[in-house]
Chains A and B, each alone.
Chain A
Amino acid sequence: MHVQVKNISLSIQQKPILKDVSLEIESGQSLALVGPNGSGKSTLLRVIAGLLKPDCGQVIVDDNEVGNLSPRKLAQRLGFVSQDASTTDAIAVYDAVKLGRTPWLSLMSPFGSKDKKIVENAMCEMAISGYASQQFNTLSGGERQRVHIARVLAQTPQIFLLDEPTNHLDIHHQIAIIDWVARQSTTVALALHDLNHAFVCDRVAVLNKGQLVAYGEPKAVLVSDVIDPVFHVATHQTTTTHFDHPILTFAKSYRDQ
């Protein structure tokens, strides 16, 4: 599915969060949203997901404007994973993943064998089948994140929107999730803090104070000229034979002082 973000602006409590942001995600491509804390990454993802209504501008998914689709139709197309969604309920992992089928079920079409298969496949893909009957609250952060992604997989959307999916995870689990993103043939947009992870994506968008300051292929965007003024750091590129992209390392910048 093809996503067009056109001139999105949004203020929350009179504070501008997004200012005239436009970008495109081609069908099957992955987009990394990067930027400092408070730059509007999460908000932009929520606008694309239809969870927040922009003050002006539109999000178009294929030929439909997101604002015109019913929540159910939207959920059948777009799957959204927020940062660290928690619960106090003693819900089993299987039941948590099963929630992903919600937009496809109704009184007339209850949970059936096809849905069961989809849920089991999603759990298999995220390697959590072994935890099916375990309680969600007893899992580690990395396992919980995989449950959430499995839940959204069970939603069978055509676009995945992930808000900082690697937050609070150890390196092993971070790599597992980034690797999953790299393998996706579905359209994906994700907010990231680790700029080196963004190299696996087809496109990178850099946000700063609600504005899109750079957008393009990772190797073109993730360079010191773009990053240094946005993050106030000094970026150094290292090339190694282990990766097909440069490795970025960062140091304190003395330029602004």
Chain B
Amino acid sequence: MIENTIGGLKPAVSILISLVILMGALGAALVIGETPIPLYTIWNVLKIEAGYPAPEVNPIDHGILWSYRLPRAIIAMACGVSLALSGVVLQALLRNPLSDPYILGLSAGASTGAVAVAILGFGAGMLSLSGGAFIGALLAFGFVAWLARLSKGNSPGATSSLALLLAGVAGAQLFHALTALIIAKSADANQARGIMFWMMGNLSGSRWPDVYLAVPIAMIGAVIIYLHSRALDAMTFGREAAQSMGIRTSWVMTILIGTAALLTAVMVSLTGAIGFVGLVVPHAMRFLVGVRHVLLIPATALAGGVFLIIADIIARTLIPGQSLPIGVVTALVGAPAFAIILVRSSRARTS
């Protein structure tokens, strides 16, 4: 178990299996829906779009597949990768197993930022929407970190789990309230309805231009985080231990928290706040591949992508004729997982 094997498998084999799982999930997202589309039609549409000769396809099927299901599945994947990686980063840097962008209020802050841009103006293009969300996420994190630190007082050691969680609750509530205030003051009824639907986490508006923003951001974020895997490992015994092992901890924390905030912000601006992905996926992966980030980061990225693709399939199909917000599905899985992790971590502390 010490050497580089994952559950007894060689890395190359694990990567191959993971890619097959990812492709399977993507395939399922394209096939399954109110109008089931057979695999050969999907293959033909892909060929046509890539400019190769292929048999003719029903234009409605073509439209559903190319304009709706494919971008939606890709967004789900990018979003899952980003949120799960943000969770890994926050858990390692804050040394708190319950950290997650949703629980620590980053998502709420990002929502406030995005809504402020959308309603109060500033030319609500996609980039400025994400920019607003990014600033909102950073402000929320700053507020939560400050509050947690304040409650800690001068006692040494890491901020307690409880203090951080309570600060997260307070931060999320504050930013939700700010969002509600902006909507109540400035939005018309139509805008308000749209925003409320979006805020619960929704992928139904996903189109190709969103893909061009989400995929590069998710990839850049994943590379930055992966390059810091050794620094994240060094944080295992705390910031001071990491520093004594030659890590520039302030620099690493700034870069990585900035990256987590950016990933969360861009995804929230596209899909709304989807909770618990950053909590559930990294913990499940720790069981599977262990705590070393060199394995944990790729495993989490992949599993995060697959998790949201599948969650979205469930959200689209659970109630026939109605699409649930994806946040509902992730919360149904995530809330019990949160409870389990809470109990386990408090047991670990007292033992």
CA distance A72 to B2 in the complex (A): 26
Is B230's CB within 8 Å of the partner chain A? yes
Tell whether, in the assembled complex, residue A94 and residue B246 are in contact, meaning their CB atoms are under 8 Å apart.
no
Nearest-CB residue, chain B, relative to A88: B97
B2 and A51 form a contact (CB under 8 A):
no
B291 near A91 (CB under 8 angstroms)?
A: yes
At the interface, yes or no: B322 with Cβ under 8 Å from chain A?
no
By a CB distance below 8 angstroms, the chain B residues around A103 are 245-246
Pick the residue among A76, A95, A133, A137 that contacts B246 (CB under 8 A).
A76
User: Roughly how many angstroms separate A209 CA and B29 CA in the complex, as a whole number?
Assistant: 68
Contact A85 B237 (CB under 8 A): yes
0/1 per residue, B222-251, Cβ < 8 Å to A?
Answer: 000001001001101110110111111000
Instruction: Mark interface residues in A149-163 (1 if CB within 8 Å of B CB, else 0).
Output: 000000100000000
Interface residues of B in 278-318 (CB under 8 A from A): 286, 290-292
Task: Convert A84-101 into 0s and 1s, putting 1 for each residue whose CB lies closer than 8 angstroms to a CB of B.
Answer: 011111111011100110
Neighbouring A residues of B248 by C-beta, 8 Å:
71
Chain A residues within 8 Å of B97, by CB: 88
Please determine whether B244 and A75 come into contact, CB atoms closer than 8 angstroms.
Answer: yes
Report whether A100 and B290 are in contact in the complex, using a CB–CB cutoff of 8 Å.
no
B1 at interface (Cβ–Cβ under 8 A)?
A: yes
* Interchain nearest-CB distance for B6 vs A (Å): 14
Q: With the chains together, A72 CA to B245 CA distance in Å?
A: 7
Please, what's the 1-or-0 string for B11-52, where 1 marks a CB less than 8 Å from any CB in chain A?
000000000000000000000000000000000000000000
A133 to B2, CA, bound (A): 7
With A76-B246, A102-B246: A87-B95 Cβ-Cβ less than 8 Å: yes
> How many Å lie between the Cα of A103 and that of B290 in the bound state?
22
The residues of A that contact B234 with a CB separation of less than 8 Å are 99, 102
Contacts of B227 in A (CB 8 A): 107
B319 in the interface (beta carbon within 8 A)? no
**Most chain B Cβ neighbours within 10 Å, of A71, A78, A79:** A71
Residue in contact with B247 in the complex, picked from A71, A87, A91, CB distance below 8 Å: A71
Tell me if A186 counts as interface (CB < 8 A to partner B): no
Q: Which of A49, A86, A133 contacts B244 (CB 8 A)?
A: A49
**A51 and B243 contact, CB distance less than 8 A:** yes
A71 touches B246 (CB 8 A): yes
Q: Are B237 and A88 in contact (CB under 8 A)?
A: no
A79: min CB distance to chain B, Å:
7
Q: Which chain A residue shows the least CB distance to B349?
A: A88
Q: Is B189 on the interface with A (CB-CB < 8 A)?
A: no
Q: Which residues of A contact B286 (CB under 8 A)?
A: 90
| Cβ contact within 8 Å between B230 and A87 | no
Most chain A Cβ neighbours within 10 Å, of B154, B243, B244, B349:
B244
Interface membership of A105, Cβ < 8 A:
yes
The docked-state distance in angstroms from the alpha carbon of A71 to that of B241 is 12
Looking at A94, A99, A103, the one whose CB has the most chain B CB atoms below 10 A away is: A99
A132 at interface (Cβ–Cβ under 8 A)? yes
Q: A100 and B291: CB pair below 8 A?
A: no
**Smallest CB gap from A72: residue in B:** B246
Partner of B237, one of A76, A87, A105: A87
Q: In the complex the two chains form, what is the Cα distance from A148 to B233 in whole Å?
A: 15
Chain A contacts with B in 84-134, Cβ cutoff 8 A: 85-92, 94-96, 99-100, 102-103, 105, 107, 132-133
Partner of B1, one of A82, A88, A92: A92
B246 A91 Cβ-Cβ under 8 A: no
B244 touches A88 (CB 8 A): no
* Cβ of B204 under 8 Å from chain A: no
- Residues on the A chain within 8 Å of B154, using CB: 13
Instruction: Answer whether A75 and B246 are a contact pair too, CB < 8 Å, given A88-B349, A91-B236.
Output: yes
How close is B154's CB to chain A, nearest CB, in angstroms?
8
Residue of A90, A102, A132 near B230 (CB, 8 A) is A102
Q: In the assembly, what is the distance between CA of A165 and CA of B246, in Å? A: 21
Do A133 and B241 touch across chains, with their CB atoms under 8 A apart? no
A222 in the interface (beta carbon within 8 A): no
Contact call B245/A100, Cβ cutoff below 8 A: yes
Would A75 and B230 count as touching, CB distance under 8 A? Answer: no
Decide yes or no: A133 and B95 within 8 Å by CB, A51-B243, A90-B286, A155-B245 being known contacts.
no
Tell yes or no: A74 within 8 A of B by CB: yes
Check if A99 sits within 8 Å of B2, measured CB to CB.
no
Contact A74 B1 (CB under 8 A): no
Interface residue B323 (Cβ < 8 Å from any Cβ of A): no
Interface residues of A in 159-183 (CB under 8 A from B): none
B128 within 8 A of A: no
Closest to A73 in B: B246
Does B345 interact with chain A (Cβ within 8 Å)? yes
Knowing A71-B243, A107-B227, A132-B2, say if A86 contacts B345 (CB, 8 Å).
no
22 A-B residue pairs with Cβ-Cβ distance under 8 Å, sorted by A, are A46-B240, A82-B238, A85-B238, A85-B240, A87-B236, A88-B95, A88-B345, A89-B236, A90-B286, A92-B2, A92-B290, A95-B233, A95-B290, A95-B292, A96-B237, A99-B233, A102-B230, A102-B234, A105-B230, A107-B227, A133-B2, A148-B237
Known: A51-B243, A102-B234. 7 other contacts (CB 8 A): A79-B244, A80-B244, A92-B1, A99-B234, A102-B245, A105-B230, A137-B348
Residues of B near any A CB (own CB < 8 A) = 1-2, 95-97, 154, 227, 230, 233-234, 236-238, 240-241, 243-248, 286, 290-292, 345, 348-349
> What are the 5 tightest A-B residue pairs by CB atom distance, in nearest-first order?
A75-B246, A103-B246, A72-B246, A80-B244, A85-B237
